Amino acid sequence: MRRRPLPLPASAAGIAAIWLVLLCVPWLTASEYWLDTGIAIATFAVLSTGLNLIYGYAGLLSFAQVAFFGLGGYGAALLVTRLGWSFWLALPAAAIIATWAGLLIGYSSLRLSRHAFAIVSLSFALLCGIVARDWVALTRGSMGIPGLSLPGFDAPAHMYRLTVTVAVILLLGFHVLLSSRLGRALQAIKLNEPLAQSQGIDPLRYKLLAISVSAAASGVMGALFVFHLTIVDPSVFDFYYTETMLIMVILGGAGSFWGVIAASAVFSIVPDLLRFSSDLRLTLYGLVLVAAMLLFPGGFAGMLRQRSLLRWKTRL
């Protein structure tokens, strides 16, 4: 049913080429606006690919991606400002914090049902926002933790190159993972869990692995993102990120690697150009989500795939 993925060396070469092109962008434009947009695209590409791994491949609807992102951001910010850690140590620590959170909600809820996972992940994301706002002694509440800076990466172009490089490495990692045994096992679990189990695949272990990987990547991007903004406040847990990620994954086509990355780019650029206010934007996203669920549940990429499947069937 799925098209065969590109052979690994070819797509690795493709990704490396894209990376080199992206690194050259700061020479073409000095506009900070476009560099910020580039950082947003890179961040959302990793976040929504992380959601795609959990939802599109493993079939688990996770609303906790924004929590992993925000925990990475707060974790790194607190380690650097309170404990005086170097950012380069705080970055893997952010990944570890996010992974632990992912394992906690995954292990506790997956033994019950997929419904429970969706509910627990949403509650966790909302709780993180509330705790960040109310635990003033640790997080300074809604004032946030300002003054985050990364020595040696003060210029916008430096931060842009760093974010793009990390994002490309993470996306490459996702790609390798998805074309490996893990990706196939996840798809087998999604298609038919009892059958996969009978082949010796332990669904819980693979699902937890997918959640950890996705959480770790989101945590890393969160740490980078707050150091790009130079401040972290409770808005990093905003539901806006969850909704945007969902739109990217669903319209890009859950389970389609490049579809979701393309959708990340489109949905990072277009709403900004249209200059909608955030509540109007989210209302429209909601309408799009409702329409997508009623009309084409597989997303655009899913629709194209279905159409090619239909053509293939008629040819037989």
Partner 1 sequence: MADTYLLQLLLNGLVIGVIYALIAMGLSLIFGLLGIVNFAHGEFYMLGAMLSFFAVTDLHLGYWTTILAVTLVAGCVGVFFYHLFLSSLRAADFERSILLTLGISMVLQNGGIYLWTVTPRIVPTPYSYAAVTLGGMQLPVLRLFTLGIATAAFLALYLLLSHTLVGKAMRGLSQSSDAAAMVGIDHRSVARLAVIIGIALSGLAGATLAPVYSVQPTMGSAFVFKAFAIVIIGGLGNIAGAAITAIMLGILESLIGGFFPLTLADSAGFIAMIVVLLFKPEGLFGRGVRV
Which residues here bind partner 1, judged by CB under 8 A?
Answer: 55, 59, 61, 104-105, 107-109, 111-116, 118-120, 122-124, 126-127, 130-131, 134-135, 239, 243, 246, 250, 277, 279-280, 282-283, 285-290, 292-294, 297
Give the nearer residue to partner 1 in terms of CB position, either 15 or 61. 61
Shortest Cβ 154–partner 1 spacing (Å): 35
Assess contact for 64 and 105: CB atoms under 8 A. Answer: yes
Give the nearer residue to partner 1 in terms of CB position, either 133 or 158. 133
Shortest Cβ 226–partner 1 spacing (Å): 21
Fill in the DSSP letter of residue 155. S
CB 298: neighbour CB atoms within 10 A?
Answer: 16
Give the nearer residue to partner 1 in terms of CB position, either 113 or 180. 113
Shortest Cβ 26–partner 1 spacing (Å): 35
Give the nearer residue to partner 1 in terms of CB position, either 83 or 112. 112
Shortest Cβ 311–partner 1 spacing (Å): 25
Structure tokens at 24: 């050259």
CA geometry: angle at 294 spanning 291 and 299, to 5°? Answer: 75
Q: How far apart are CA 206 and CA 191, in angstroms?
A: 14
Provide φ and ψ at 286, rounded to 5°.
-60, -45
Burial class (CB in 10 A: 0-12, 13-18, 19+), 173: middle
Q: Which residue has the tokens 């994301």?
A: 125
Burial class (CB in 10 A: 0-12, 13-18, 19+), 62: buried
Shortest Cβ 172–partner 1 spacing (Å): 28
Shortest Cβ 298–partner 1 spacing (Å): 10
Give the nearer residue to partner 1 in terms of CB position, either 174 or 285. 285
Provide φ and ψ at 152, rounded to 5°.
90, -10
Give the nearer residue to partner 1 in terms of CB position, either 277 or 314. 277
For the chain, counts of helices (H) and of strands (E): 14, 0
